[in-house]
Amino acid sequence: MSAPSLSPSSQSSQSSPDLWLARRAAGGRADAWDELLALYGERVYNLALHFAGSAADAEDLTQEIFLRLYQNLRLYRGDVPLAAWALRLSRNLCIDYYRRARRERRALNVSEEVLAGLPAGGDDPQAEAQRRQQLRAVYRGLEEMPEDLAEVVLLRDLQGWSLEETAACLEVPVGTVKSRLHRARLDLAGRVTAKLGPRGAAVAIPELEVEPC
Amino acid sequence: MLSWACRRFRARFNPGDTHPHRRACAECDAFATALEQGARVRLPLPVSLRSNLQSIQSLGAREPGAILPFPVPRLPMPESLVARLRSIPTASRPAPPEWVRSPRYALAASALLALLLGPLMAGAADRGQRALNAVRVEVSPLLDHAGTGSRKELEKLRLATAATYDTARESVADSLHRFDAGLSGLSIRLSNVLSEDLNQSDARHEPDRPSDK
């Protein structure tokens, strides 16, 4: 299933189907609720996996997010993407899970579970091993970063959310997301450099000029 | 060997069609049923293929400066979680309050209602009788008055009708009498005229009689 994403030009056209879907689901239509789950369930679950740090907690978190979403569907006005709105409703919950996972150093497990889902690297096992190493380094770097910076990288770069969705979820303007994202990437590049060395970091974050810490 | 009608039906059949031939031919009905059952079968996308396809989709969405040169894989939602999420609308539907569900509360509510409404209901018959009497006292004179007035008016109407009838009857009788008298006079004059004519005729023929001898 392809994840629905929002480009700036398509935001207004996307919000209407979301609103229609939300209205039908709030009205008790089982098919609408199933459609909503099919559209956003996987995205929310993967994000919950990063916040919660374990599959079991991620399932609980996903369920709580959707429960809150269902209870508040009538309040949805369609001005922001539905997935971002759902996350905004449960932001404190996600932050609680995230802090608990960080305290218990469980966030490392996420990368292991995600690594298991990496597509096969073909005939080059060295490249595949390198990718795993890079991903681990990025996750470790995220654990050490301030929450607001880690959050924006998580949503935008690791989960592939659009700028508009990220801004709606974090309740900040798009410009703030961009600037915060830039700072977060620089911060993360420094941390990855410290772990992998300048060469490894340059491979992991090729578009940034990484300066050694 | 299939008949021409069977071949034509099978060649043009689409699942869901209700062609009359289908009802007429059991073999073609079985053929159509098998096709319809086959059309409903949908093979699930293999997990590995799905993951690879998702990575292709995400790869196209990478932007310059993203922290990883490859997409982070997305994990599919566990089936148990999907079932839990699907049950949210039914599970989170508000249950009826305890006083509705419990028979004890129902009995207590009935007793309370009987206590509160009992005195009111006990005096209802007396109050109804009093109200009926009051209505009778108020309405009976009006009815009597209306009855008396009506009887007078009816008597007047009857008298006027009788007088009009008598006048009309007398007028008709008088007219008939005059007509009868006129008719009698006319008859007498007519008989007189006829007898005179006969006498004159006899007188003209009398002198001729001796000459005939």
Interface confidence, given as ipTM, is 0.72
Distance, in Å, from the CA atom of A55 to the CA atom of A114, rounded to the nearest integer, reads 11
Of A41, A158, A159, the CB nearest to B77: A41
Q: Which residue's entry shows tokens 């004890």?
A: B104
Q: What is the C-alpha to C-alpha distance for residues A52 and A55, in angstroms, rounded to an integer? A: 8
Residues of A in contact with B46 (CB under 8 A): none
How far, in Å, CA of A174 to CA of A159, rounded?
17
A138 touches chain B (CB under 8 A): yes
- At which residue do the structure tokens 């034509």 appear? B8
| Average pLDDT of span B149-170 | 94
pLDDT at B37 over 70: yes
Residue with tokens 């990368």: A111
CB within 8 Å: B88 and A66: yes
The residue with greater pLDDT, B106 or A115, is: B106
Asked whether A38 and A3 are in contact (CB, 8 A), the reply is no
**CA A46 to chain centroid:** 7
pLDDT at A1: 38
SS3 A36: helix
Q: State the burial class of residue B40 (Cβ atoms within 10 Å of its Cβ: 0-12, 13-18, 19+).
A: exposed
Nearest to A96 by CA among A45, A148, A139, A61: A61
Query: What integer best gives the mean pLDDT of chain A?
Result: 78
Q: Is the pLDDT reported for residue B170 higher than 60?
A: yes
- Is residue A189 within 8 A of residue A205, CB to CB? The reply is yes
Smallest CA-to-CA distance from A200 within A130, A145, A148, A152 is with A130
Q: Between B126 and B57, whose confidence is greater?
A: B126
Residue B52's nearest CA partner among A117, A114, A133, A47 is A117
- Other CB atoms within a 10 A radius of the CB of residue A28 amount to 11
Contact B51 A119 (CB under 8 A): yes
Give the pLDDT score at A178: 92
Q: Residue B87: its pLDDT value, please?
A: 87
pLDDT higher than threshold 60 for residue B26: yes
* pLDDT at site B180: 93
A202 in contact with B at a CB cutoff of 8 Å?
A: no
Number of cross-chain residue pairs from A and B with Cβ atoms under 8 Å apart: 104
Rounded to a whole number of angstroms, the distance from the CA of B143 to the nearest CA of chain A is 60
What is the distance, to the nearest Å, from the Cα of residue A200 to the centroid of all Cα atoms in its chain?
Answer: 24
Mean pLDDT of B147-158: 93
Residues in chain A with CB shorter than 8 Å from the CB of B52 are 119
pTM of the model: 0.51
Identify the closest residue of chain B to A119 by CA–CA distance: B52
Residues of A in contact with B55 (CB under 8 A): 119
Question: Which one of A207, A208, A210 makes the best mutation probe of the B interface by having the most chain B beta carbons within 10 Å?
Answer: A207
Confidence band, pLDDT 50/70/90 cuts, at residue B66? low
- B168 pLDDT tier (thresholds 50, 70, 90): very high
Closest CA–CA distance from residue A63 to any residue of chain B (Å): 6
Maximum C-alpha span of chain B: 173
Indicate the Cα dihedral angle A118, A121, A125, A129, nearest 10°. Answer: -30
> How many Å apart are CA A93 and CA A89, to the nearest integer?
9
* A70 half-sphere exposure, CB direction, 13 A CA radius: 26
Which residues of chain B does A205 touch, with a Cβ-Cβ cutoff of 8 Å? 65, 67-68
The single residue listed with the structure tokens 């209505």 is B135
Best B62, B63, B67 member to test A by mutation, with max A CBs in 10 Å, is: B67
Q: Which pLDDT does position A162 carry in this prediction?
A: 87
Token representation of residue A55? 């599959």
Tokens of B178: 């005059």
Residue A161 φ then ψ, to 5°: -70, 150
Do A188 and B67 count as a contact with CB atoms less than 8 A apart?
A: yes
DSSP type of residue B66: -
The H-assigned helical ranges of A145-173 are 147-153, 163-170
Q: How far apart are the two ends of chain B, measured CA to CA in Å? A: 131
**Nearest alpha-carbon partner for B66 in A160, A175, A132:** A160
pLDDT computed for residue B62 by the predictor: 54
Angstrom distances, CA of residue A102 to CA of A95, A209, B90, B150: 10, 29, 34, 101
- Per the model's pLDDT, the better-predicted residue between A176 and B62 turns out to be A176
Residue listed under structure tokens 């080059």: A124
Residue of A nearest to B44 (CA): A1
How far apart CA A171 and CA A177 sit, in angstroms, is: 10
